[in-house]
Structure 1
Amino acid sequence: MTGTRQRRRPSSAELDADERAALVRERRGRRSEEDRRRTRSRRPTQQQPSRRSSRRSRPTRGKELRRRWVALLTVVTVLALGYLLFFSSVLAVKTVAVQGAKTVPVERIRTTAGVPAEQPMLRVDVDGIRDRVAQLSGIATVDVSRSWPSTLEIAVTERTAIAFFDSGPGGDGVHLVDGGGVVFKTVKSRPAGLPELKLPKVSADDPVTRAVTAVLGVIPETMRKQVTTATAKTPASVEFTLSTGKTVRWGDAEDTDRKAKVLAALLTRPGKVYDVSAPELPTVTS
């Protein structure tokens, strides 16, 4: 045995363990290197979309100029339309058409309407025109509308006479009255076919007048043609005289149909006064 110490050779099992450890370390190194490469390769691709999106979000100078031009043209268009509709004579009133007038002269309606010539259609005061025309005595209703581009239409409904009253000697003549008790026209002579109102006062504000004209407006036309005079002391005591000289006590304006049927049956009986004010208890007196 020599003085030098002999080195122990590793066993085959130890050599295998060392090789395996080295191989594992080598593999880990490769994996970490691959991971670093992948990370580097991903960074540019992740940043590129954000750069592109930022470029896309920034409007170009041409687009910005187009937007400004569009906004300017919009403002100019709105101003031009406003001027055309409210100040220009292009869409101004050139014709005033009147419809429904029969007894009231059309020119009188146009004059009363007072529509300014060449006034823009949208600036026309249709409410004011309606109120002025409605003040005409022969007009019952008025409707004013615009017919583009340049016509103003005035549609009227005239009052219809349902009775008349004579102001008597020293009065101002014979006056026509409509179904609402409105005195709307004066004529020279008594009109044929209309009953005469025998009332202390004839006015649309008078409840008795309104009651009498309301009854005359709802009774059957064949019966109304036979009425010569109508009178009342209260709104519920309307009565009228027929052309045969018979007197009908009608009462108020309620139960018109029933009263008319009862009266038609009663008139077949002899008598002078026919009371249908209570249609369930009619009476005939001589």
Structure 2
Amino acid sequence: MTSPTRPESRRPASSAGAAARERRAKRELLRPTRRRALVRRWMVLLIFVGVLAVLYVVFFTPVLGARSVDVRGTQGLTPDEVRNVAAVEMGKPLVRLDTDEIAQRVATLPRVANVNVERSWPGTVEITVSEREPVAFAKLADGAHMIDPSGVVYAIVPQAPPGLPSVDVPTLGTGDAATRAVVDVLGKIPPQLKQQVVALSAKSAGNVQLTLTTGQVVKWGNANDSERKAMVLAALLTRPGKVYDVAAPELPTIS
């Protein structure tokens, strides 16, 4: 007897449809994620390109280049004198300017004691100078040579400013021991005495001599112990005399 044929086993239609719907749902979920990833990649690329563009503008174009030079602090010098020596390259990007090199050029001006150079965005170079201040002068054939507290002779003018004492030394300049001794004494004596000094002379660093407004002469010696010498001299000046010797303050003399 022939056994009856069983119907072929088939997957229910409902199961196949559910699987298809599940696949579609997964694709729908992944689609926004892919879009976001693509947007992020584009944003990173745009930011990178933007940074490159900014760097190019800052470093290689005159957009943020030097357009003006602002000079401050000049007295005897003029701003144009400083600008000419500074030689700032107009149009060169500020970030590529060597401010130290500019400062070194300005410092070659004899009147300049200190100089500071800064960038001021978007296009200005600021140069601030401090000029040397005279403490004395030496009258020579070509004019009055201005001397600063370090003994630097930095300018020659036709006439010295009023109130400055004159200096007489064998060889004027920072390399001369007598010059250094004279300005050292001037820097150490009290203001009351300094106002009375009209002239200083020294043949060497050890025999500085002061001439006062009264015509009286003070033999000071070297610059050592100047505070004590000034105190001794103040007491001696209460007595009549033409020459006051305080080179050895423990044994002063009047003549």
TM-score range, shorter chain: 0.7 to 0.9
Distance in 2 (CA, whole Å) between partners of 1:80 and 1:235 is 64
Q: Which of 175, 179, 182 is 1:205 aligned to?
A: 175
Equivalent position of 2:252 in the other structure:
283
Q: TM-score, normalised by structure 1?
A: 0.70
Q: Which of 132, 149, 152 is 2:122 aligned to?
A: 149
Distance in 2 (CA, whole Å) between partners of 1:65 and 1:278 is 91
Equivalent position of 1:162 in the other structure:
135
Q: Which of 75, 80, 85 is 1:102 aligned to?
A: 75
Q: Could you report, residue by residue, the CA deviation over 1:42-63 in whole angstroms, capped at 9, with x for unpaired residues? A: xxxxxxxxxxxxxxxxxx5445
Distance in 2 (CA, whole Å) between partners of 1:253 and 1:61 is 86
Secondary structure of the structure 2 residue equivalent to 1:90:
helix
Distance 1:236 1:76, change over 3 A: farther
Equivalent position of 1:114 in the other structure:
87
Equivalent position of 2:46 in the other structure:
73
Q: Which of 235, 246, 260 is 2:230 aligned to?
A: 260
Equivalent position of 1:42 in the other structure:
none
Does the alignment pair 1:269 with 2:242? no
Q: Could you report, residue by residue, the CA deviation over 1:226-263 in whole angstroms, capped at 9, with x for unpaired residues? A: 22221223334322111222222333434444333332
Equivalent position of 2:208 in the other structure:
238
Secondary structure of the structure 2 residue equivalent to 1:181:
coil
Distance 1:72 1:209, change over 3 A: same
Q: Could you report, residue by residue, the CA deviation over 1:161-194 in whole angstroms, capped at 9, with x for unpaired residues? A: 1111122xxx433211111111111122354322
- Residue type of the partner of 2:72? Q
Secondary structure of the structure 1 residue equivalent to 2:62:
coil
Question: Which one has a bigger Cα radius of gyration?
Answer: 1
Equivalent position of 2:148 in the other structure:
178
Equivalent position of 2:157 in the other structure:
187
Distance 1:271 1:284, change over 3 A: farther
Distance in 1 (CA, whole Å) between partners of 2:121 and 2:223 is 45
Q: CA RMSD in A?
A: 2.4
8 Å contact kept, 2:246–2:253: no
Distance in 2 (CA, whole Å) between partners of 1:276 and 1:62 is 95
Equivalent position of 1:87 in the other structure:
60
Distance in 2 (CA, whole Å) between partners of 1:198 and 1:274 is 19
How far off its partner does 1:109 sit?
Answer: 0.9
Distance 1:181 1:67, change over 3 A: same
8 Å contact kept, 1:274–1:282: no
How far off its partner does 1:205 sit?
Answer: 2.1
8 Å contact kept, 1:271–1:284: no
Distance in 2 (CA, whole Å) between partners of 1:253 and 1:69 is 76
8 Å contact kept, 1:94–1:118: yes
Distance in 1 (CA, whole Å) between partners of 2:251 and 2:47 is 78
8 Å contact kept, 1:227–1:241: yes
Specify every segment of 5 or more residues in structure 2 that has no aligned partner in the other structure, as ranges. Answer: 1-32
8 Å contact kept, 1:194–1:225: no
8 Å contact kept, 1:208–1:234: yes
Distance in 1 (CA, whole Å) between partners of 2:142 and 2:77 is 20
8 Å contact kept, 2:146–2:160: no
- Residue type of the partner of 1:120? P
- Residue type of the partner of 1:259? K
8 Å contact kept, 1:272–1:284: no
Identity %: 47
8 Å contact kept, 1:252–1:277: yes
Equivalent position of 1:34 in the other structure:
none
